[in-house]
Amino acid sequence: MFDCFRMVHEAKTESGPMAAGLANPAAAPALQNYQLLPKPTGDGELLEISMGPQHPSTHGVFRMDVVLDGERVVKLKPVFGYLHRNHEKIAEGTSYLSSIPYTDRLDYFCSMTNNWAYCLSVEKLAGLQVPERAEYLRVILAELTRLQNHASLCGFLTQDMGASGTPLMYAFREREKILDLFEAISGARMMCNFMRFGGLRCDAPIGWLEQVKKVVAEFPAFLDEFAALLNQNEILMSRTQNVGVLSKELAISAGITGPMLRASGVNYDLRKVDKYGIYDRFEFKVPLGDHGDVYDRYMMRVLEMRESIKILQQALPQIPDGPIVDPKAKLRGFRPKAGEAYGRIEAPKGELGFYLISDGSPNPYRYRVRPPSFVNLTILEDMCLGHTVGDIIIILGSVDIVLGEVDR
């Protein structure tokens, strides 16, 4: 369907039993010899434990009610809502403009893409045209967001596996360079509040694009370093391969989107499907996973970062001069005519959509967020069943959740 490539585990067959079992599914029984824990017998007593919301590895205030037979999970119930702050209802009570800073706080790693999704739906509602330069800057900012989100996810995921700090530190070192770029253009590192209906708040400062070029040129070196550090690491592979397998069928029927869906082998990327903004002008491939396990989800992020760099390298030289906001867009007294609109983009975590109904008043009649990590989290039990408590942590880590977005 779309331009994609299939990811193959570069596991060396001779390098050990854990890698051998995965490159060749037929050889999988060899893994059984390395089963340290006994299989659940079913006659033991069940133990119900509550993980979170203060657990350090749940990526925020997230709780899981886990029922264990020995060390194996037999039931898992995700409990969320601890960070609920009434985002949708607040947005229905304020003007369209005043909701933009609140969208920053949904997924606080990727405020730029949150802004974009919201602005896209308002632009559909009001029929605004985004100027060329603003479209290019939006793509650049969104891809930088994807880079820093995936880099920090790889760091957090390995942190969950017990690689205590080092990969996370390296990832955050790179993330900080991108956040410096965000601060230079928008004034804030994380709560950027930068995109506006019909364009952007202001133009990039002088010399900013050169800084971006420098950061983008240096980024592959980090990816190579990270690959040497971890990608083929035997401990990482034995912890992640064949853990938390999500089948293609289940992923589709559960509405999973983003890197998690593509890790299960479904060729679906909104940048290719919707071609929102100007994504049809860039050549990039969609990496696909083979197994749908945690290792595929990890590698998916690594490969997507390489594709994001390709997009950035194409977008940066092409960027034209011109206005950055539609002259028809109004800041004060913005009242789109009655109607409804759904704007969606491929956020780093999946499909982020905003559904708006306008009744012609200054504030939306209905405002609904479709958060990717909330929907991706609903499948957690199916991935965790039969695995150990230690595996739950990395399966949860590979989903890539941010509780600000899950709970809203």
Partner 1 sequence: MLGEQIIKGLAVTAKNFFGSYVSEERLPTLQYPEERQTLPEASRQFPFLVFDGDDPMKGLRCVACQICEKECPPKCIYIVKSKDKRVDYKGQMQLYPATFDIDLSVCMSCQICVEVCPFESIKMDTDFELSNSDRFGGLLVHKQQLAKSNEHYRKIHPNDAAISDAALAVEVAKAQAKAKADAETKAKVAAETKAKAAAQPAPAA
* Positions in the binding site for partner 1 (CB under 8 A): 15-16, 94-95, 97-102, 104, 166, 170, 180, 183-188, 191, 193, 201-202, 205, 225, 228-230, 232-235, 331-332
Strand order in the sheet with 350-358: 339-347, 350-358, 366-370
The distance from CA 103 to its chain's CA centroid, rounded to whole angstroms, is 15
* Residue 116 vs residues 69, 181, 367, 405: alpha-carbon distances, Å: 45, 17, 15, 15
Shortest gap between Cβ of 126 and partner 1 (angstroms)?
Answer: 17
Determine how many CB atoms are found less than 10 A away from the CB of residue 166: 13
Please report how close the Cβ of residue 252 comes to partner 1 at its closest, in angstroms.
34
> In whole angstroms, how close is the CB of 151 to partner 1 at the nearest point?
16
**Pairwise CA distance, residues 30 & 11, whole Å:** 15
Q: Bridge-partner residues for 64, per DSSP? A: 51, 78
* Closest to partner 1 by CB, 15 or 318: 15
Closer residue to partner 1 (CB): 242 or 376: 242
- Residue placing its CB nearer to partner 1 in the complex, 77 or 85: 85
Among residues 202 and 217, whose Cβ is nearest to partner 1? 202
Least distance to partner 1, CB of residue 373, Å:
22
Nearer to partner 1, 228 or 385 (CB): 228
Residue 155 or 265: the one with the smaller Cβ distance to partner 1 is 155
Given the complex with partner 1, which of 305 and 380 has the nearer CB atom? Answer: 305
- Shortest gap between Cβ of 232 and partner 1 (angstroms)? 4
For partner 1, the closer of residues 162 and 205 by Cβ is: 205
Nearer to partner 1, 3 or 183 (CB): 183
The residues, any chain, with a CB within 8 Å of residue 21's CB and separated by 6 or more, are 27, 28, 29, 30, 31, 241, 242
Q: 208-226 and 132-160 are packed helices; what angle lies between their axes, rounded to 10 degrees?
A: 30
Whether the Cβ atoms of residue 156 and residue 295 lie closer than 8 Å to each other = no
| CA distance readout (Å), 277 to 121, 140, 199, 280, 345 | 12, 11, 11, 8, 9
CB-based contact 405:257 (threshold 8 Å): no
Q: Cα separation of 20 and 16, whole Å?
A: 6
- CB contact at 8 A, 194 and 141: yes
Q: Which is nearer to partner 1, 160 or 307 (CB)?
A: 160
Min separation Cβ 326 and partner 1, Å: 15
CA distance 55 to 237: 25
> Residue 185 CB, nearest distance to partner 1 (Å)?
6
Handedness of CA 98, 100, 101, 105 (dihedral sign): positive
